[in-house]
Amino acid sequence: MLRNIPNILSLFRIIAAPFLLLAGWLGMVNLFYILFGLMLLSDALDGIIARVLDQTSELGARLDSYGDILTYLSTPLAVWWLWPDLIKKEIYYIIAAIIIYVLPSVFSLIKFGKLASYHTWITKFSAVMMSIGVVILLGFGHNILFHLAVYFLVIEMIENILITMILPKQYTDVHSLWHAWKKRN
């Protein structure tokens, strides 16, 4: 199961995260951009490829979630080392994004003893919005889309927490709150 293309793409993000941190620590801006871009691309492609090749699995969903977590937690730290003034300027939004991103995981860990891998439609849209917002912020210094993405994360957080509260047991790939409600019944 680890040998299929979607799982390899997710594993890439897991393996690349420490190198993203290293690029930030060593001030290697070009390496940071290359790794960050490849991590975002692999995140965008793994789910699509999994569905097209009929290679979806619970393991794949979990690897994707672990890759997402490592990407979302390593990026702010690497950015802090590369652009400390940007971090100071955006610190409240960054802290809010991290907290908002982590809270649904805490709820899932408390209820099910493991991380959720819902991959809701709102989560997918939010990831695209956040990725583009971060790229525009880092590349051009414009923060409006990044700020909007953080506000949108609140909707994602609420949906994911409600899904966790509704479901009687852990499921992967729950597309929406409505789908969670259907699984419950």
pLDDT in tens, 129-152: 999 999 999 999 999 999 999 999
Q: Most distant CA pair in the chain: distance in Å?
A: 52
| Six token digits for residue 176 | 């929406």
- What's the pLDDT at 144? 97
| Six token digits for residue 21 | 């941190």
List the chain domain ranges.
1-82, 93-185
- What's the pLDDT at 2? 64
pTM of this prediction? 0.86
Nearest to 69 by CA among 97, 48, 91: 97
- What's the pLDDT at 1? 58
In 53-176, which ranges are continuous DSSP H helix?
58-82, 84-112, 121-140, 144-166
Let me know the angle formed at the C-alpha of 61 by 101 and 56, rounded to the nearest 5 degrees.
150
Tell me if 20 sits within 8 A of 64, measured CB to CB.
no
Residues 6 or more apart whose CB falls under 8 angstroms from that of 155 comprise: 122, 126
Nearest to 99 by CA among 63, 150, 143: 150
pLDDT in tens, 82-106: 999 999 999 999 999 999 989 999 9
User: Averaged over 20-26, what is the pLDDT?
Assistant: 98
